[in-house]
Amino acid sequence: MKPNVQAAKEALSHLDIETSEAAIRSKSRDFFWYSPVLKARLDHVEADFVVSPRSEAEVIEVLRTCYAHDVPVTTRGAGTGNYGQAMPLAGGCVMHLTHMTAVKEIAPGRVVCEPGILLKDLDAACKEHSGQEIRMFSSTWATATIGGFIAGGSGGVGSCTWGSLRDLGNIIRLRVVTMEEEPRVVEFRGEELARVSHAYGTNGIITEVEMPLAPAYDWVEMFLTGDDFMEVARFAEELANEDGILIKLATVFEAPIAKDYFQRVAPHVEAGDNVIGLMVAPHSMDGFLTFLGRRPGVKLLYRSDETEWPRAPGHVFEYGWNHTTLRALKVDPAITYLQVRYGFPQHLELIEKMREALSPEVLQHLEVLKENGKVMFAGLSLVKFTTEERLDEIVRLHEEAGAMIFNPHRYTLEEGGRQSVDDRQLAFKREADPKGLLNPGKMIAWDDPDWDYAKMYAYPKMQAAE
Ligand code: FAD
């Protein structure tokens, strides 16, 4: 059926609706431009209108109305996602959850809130209420929403201790609205959470979340340096394996990332310095300094509670995760990145192998990650981009060596994930979005169940570039 955008807009005109060209353009975009491959393909994509519901009842109204008029709906938290997750490939409506920011309940170990609250505001509310904080957040803590993190993110600051978002216990409950003639509200826990978490809003809209909390600390944020890259990587792993030392972040940057791309750190390091970024709980600092004292190859450069630099570096976590790529891109627009899983127990061996084969074209940026109780690394490697063919070859070299790639140069769930259909997400989409109007083009299995992943998927209904 052809979408009747005009009829949907008129029916929703009593809501907070934006039709200005500039607002629509900016709210149709996310951080897709990190990828030269996606930049070339998605730059023209634009919604027809943006609506910002104030409540779950208004979300239901938007979905019911757009269903009636066959208008696609792409949900937006804050639009900090990569890979065009929040971009409306087929146009239609962008539903921006910016007003849905209420914190509904805070109890020991858990918080219930609306999806549009910023991670930093949620943290502040939990801290003020009872000295608690969210266990993990994306490094876009200051700008991203909790709903967008659950629907589009995977883990981040805190994952060195708590694992990834998809691990059991890291989301308690989600409340979800379907896109049917009469939208339903469903609540998911346990096994059912996998239906909609990290599903890019392709099969339901999250209107309430319940997340676990941990005690809040004034984390000591640090930079350390070391000459030998593998020694520095082992340092980060061994620290994460120290059972009595509580950390929230352990990041490793191969030289010369810090010298070349971290403007406020650069005056304090040499080009040959490999750098570690850490967050350690204040009560663990004695243990940490003892740990450090046993490793003369690594030196403390900066600690947030003591060091005064003329230009303070800000949060150390805003150098890690995908902020590393952002900082590098600001200095050198030819930089892009890859997302690599260096799984236990081959993680260090694989890192060494890839570094020997590809540095300095590919520089190692590692994040300590816990998976099933084992410490391993996520790589968000910096890549000096030359051509799409070379990028594909670099991906292939990793895969052949046994390092799994979550390809950030693709806009579909499957290609950015494990290159396979998630049957739970697909089955729920059949139930919850029978017309296929939610964030179209992002789930290959919905459009083309026989797709073989040998080449990049091209969504056939993608808006044509002018
Ligand atoms: P958006 O970008 O608005 O949305 C993300 C996806 O979720 C979209 O598909 C959207 O349609 C969908 N969505 C949003 N809200 C809902 C809802 N209520 N119901 C259903 N679907 C919804 N990611 C990480 O996981 N870890 C990191 O450490 C990290 N670091 C980053 C650093 C930088 C500098 C950048 C640019 C990105 C980073 N990201 C990271 C990606 C992104 O910032 C996070 O995933 C972030 O939490 C997304 O939140 P958002 O509100 O911006 O979501």
Residue at 463 is within a domain: no
Per-residue model confidence (pLDDT) at position 246: 98
Residue at 43 is within a domain: yes
Residue at 160 is within a domain: yes
Per-residue model confidence (pLDDT) at position 133: 98
Pick the atom of ligand 1 nearest to 143's CA: 52
**424 in the same domain as 306:** no
Ligand 1 centroid from CA 290, angstroms: 37
Question: pLDDT, tens digit, for every residue of 284-293?
Answer: 999 999 999 9
**251 in the same domain as 136:** no
**265 in the same domain as 155:** no
Name the residue at shortest CA distance from atom 33 of ligand 1: 322
**352 in the same domain as 372:** yes
Binding-site residues, ligand 1, Cβ < 6 A: 30-31, 74-82, 85-86, 97, 115, 138-140, 144-145, 147-149, 151-156, 200-201, 205-206, 321-323, 326, 439
Residue at 464 is within a domain: no
Query: Is it the case that residue 374 has pLDDT exceeding 90?
Result: yes
Question: pLDDT, tens digit, for every residue of 84-114?
Answer: 999 999 999 999 999 999 999 999 999 999 9
**280 in the same domain as 421:** no
Per-residue pLDDT band for 179 (boundaries 50, 70, 90) equals very high
Distance CA 126, CA 121 (A): 9
Tokens of 96: 């921006």
**232 in the same domain as 199:** no
Per-residue model confidence (pLDDT) at position 213: 98
Distance CA 369, CA 170 (A): 14
Name the residue at shortest CA distance from atom 13 of ligand 1: 148
Give the CA angle between residues 335, 338, 340 to the nearest 5°. 150
CA distances 421 to 192, 218, 412, Å, are 16, 41, 11
Residue at 466 is within a domain: no
Question: pLDDT, tens digit, for every residue of 217-234?
Answer: 999 999 999 999 999 999
Ligand 1 centroid from CA 100, angstroms: 16
Question: pLDDT, tens digit, for every residue of 417-463?
Answer: 888 889 999 999 999 999 999 999 999 999 998 898 888 999 999 99
**313 in the same domain as 263:** yes
**421 in the same domain as 318:** no
Ligand 1 centroid from CA 5, angstroms: 26
Tell which one of 76, 114, 193, 380 to mutate to probe ligand 1, the residue whose CB is within 8 A of the most ligand atoms. 76
> What average pLDDT does the segment 238-261 reach?
98
Residue at 429 is within a domain: yes
Ligand 1 centroid from CA 341, angstroms: 19
Ligand 1 centroid from CA 153, angstroms: 5
Pick the atom of ligand 1 nearest to 145's CA: 51
Per-residue model confidence (pLDDT) at position 420: 84
For residue 353, the domain's CATH number is 3.40.462.10
**108 in the same domain as 242:** no
Per-residue model confidence (pLDDT) at position 421: 84
Pick the atom of ligand 1 nearest to 442's CA: 9
Strands 110-113 and 132-134 come out as unpaired
Find the domain containing 255 and state its range: 220-405
Tokens of 337: 């990145």
Distance CA 458, CA 435 (A): 20
Tokens of 451: 């797709």
Question: pLDDT, tens digit, for every residue of 36-74?
Answer: 999 999 999 999 999 999 999 999 999 999 999 999 999
**211 in the same domain as 273:** no
Per-residue model confidence (pLDDT) at position 362: 98
Say if CB 14 and CB 62 are below 8 A apart. no
> What average pLDDT does the segment 269-283 reach?
98
Per-residue model confidence (pLDDT) at position 453: 86
Pick the atom of ligand 1 nearest to 201's CA: 21
Per-residue model confidence (pLDDT) at position 452: 87
Query: Is it the case that residue 369 has pLDDT exceeding 90?
Result: yes
Distance CA 138, CA 320 (A): 10
Per-residue model confidence (pLDDT) at position 101: 98
Name the residue at shortest CA distance from atom 50 of ligand 1: 148
Complex prediction ipTM: 0.99
For residue 100, the domain's CATH number is 3.30.465.10
Total domain count, the chain: 2
Per-residue model confidence (pLDDT) at position 454: 85
Residue at 124 is within a domain: yes
**137 in the same domain as 11:** yes
The owner of tokens 């409306």 is: 88
**399 in the same domain as 429:** no
Query: Is it the case that residue 466 has pLDDT exceeding 80?
Result: no
> What average pLDDT does the segment 362-367 reach?
98
Ligand 1 centroid from CA 150, angstroms: 8
Question: pLDDT, tens digit, for every residue of 133-143?
Answer: 999 999 999 99
Residue at 465 is within a domain: no
